[in-house]
Amino acid sequence: MTRLTISAPRIFDGTRILRDHALVLSDDRIEALLPAADAGTPDVICEGLISPGFLDLQINGGGGLMVGAETDLAALTQICEIHRDLGCAAVLPTLITDTPETTARVIASGIEAATTRVPGFLGLHLEGPHLDPRRKGAHHPRLIRTMGEDDLARLCEAARALPVLMVTLAPESVTPDQISTLAKAGAVVSIGHSDCDYETACAAYAAGARCATHLFNAMSQLGHRAPGLAGAVLAGDAPFAGLIADGIHVHPAAMRTALGARQDGIFLVTDCMAFAGTQAREMTLNGRVIRREAGRLTLPDGTLAGADLRMDAAISTLVTRLGVAPERALAMATSIPARAVGVEDRLGSIAPGRPVSLSLLDDDYRLSATWRDGGWRAANPA
């Protein structure tokens, strides 16, 4: 057994930032988290802040690969590896609206990834195709469709076979009974790409939905007489909601409003594309060109197509630009998403008995290194 003691000025355990503490590691498990004075002479002394590895519940790709028609076990393995170097302990590779054949292929590859225990693979996020074309965003309108019985059966089977399955759908394209059936099968149902009114959103949450996909983006907005889906989230009817905190998808004032309205339940997502971990400037999505420029990913008509965002940059944006408490911003990338998908017993926090999955951040909350194979590994700078 290899036993190591690591000290750092600050350690975030998933809830609190502890000062002058140390971690005791035994092989790939955390043995103890205790005051540095009680830990003896450390084997490794760190500068900065140690955090649990991040959880990203919405990644469309990475390392030049998109989740799509060509996705197989090797592709999922490579995408997960890229995001591990970006500080993520686990991710949900995300398929946006596509054909039934592609959806079935990605599900089969995801089940294989789960069976073979691909490092960093948490499950799948199927964002569509059961959406509202009025709020399609970058999703191809010809591929959006209502949910049929075959679709429902496929999703329920996937929910039972995968460790986590998140499904983004619009209430306009499904029935409350279908939402309930999905939730009972174990799927995390998230409402998104929807123009539904407040009452319809609340009915979806009453039926078993528990999340909202990228708050404010591609959804009915808050009005004083028509609160919409955004209003349902801010009022607390949605237990959880993802937020793209790049300062582009959501204005900083809107983020402050959401975080003021909700003291818990909002977590960070990157919604990143194949660009993640690369210097690429252009890619294609369902035959349409996406360009990367000045922190934006856009289709030729200017529609935002995913985000050019890393999780550490999202944390830094909240802390340094919006003045969010570091503990809260860090929780939004670790313990809150873990609770959203029911894996808080093993991911999102630092505690005795947990697997060792650590990220090292500098004073600006940018990723310096990740703990891999018994030592710190420099973060991917892309």
- What HEC string does the chain produce? CCEEEEEEEEEECCCCEEEEEEEEEECCEEEEEEEHHHHCCCCEECCCEEEECEEEEEECEECCEECCCCCCHHHHHHHHHHHHCCCEEEEEEEEECCCHHHHHHHHHHHHHHHHCCCCCECCEEEECCCCCHHHCCCCCHHHCCCCCHHHHHHHHHHHHHCCCEEEEECHHHCCHHHHHHHHHHCCEEEECCECCCHHHHHHHHHHCCCEECCCCCCECCCCCCCCHHHHHHHCCCCCEEEECCCCCCCCHHHHHHHHHHCCCCEEECCCECCCCCCCCCEEEECCEEEEEECCEEECCCCCECCECCCHHHHHHHHHHHCCCCHHHHHHCCCHHHHHHCCCCCCCCCCCCCCECCEEEECCCCCEEEEEECCEEEECCCC
- Out of 85, 271, 308, 312, the active site residue is 271
Residue 306 backbone zone (phi > 0: left; psi -120 to 50: alpha; other: beta): left
Q: Does residue 63 contact residue 277 with C-beta atoms inside 8 Å?
A: yes
How many C-beta atoms surround the C-beta of residue 252 within 10 A?
Answer: 14
Q: Is there a catalytic annotation at residue 271?
A: yes
Cα-based torsion angle of the residue sequence 270, 229, 301, 97 in order, rounded to the nearest 10 degrees = 70
Catalytic residue numbers read 271
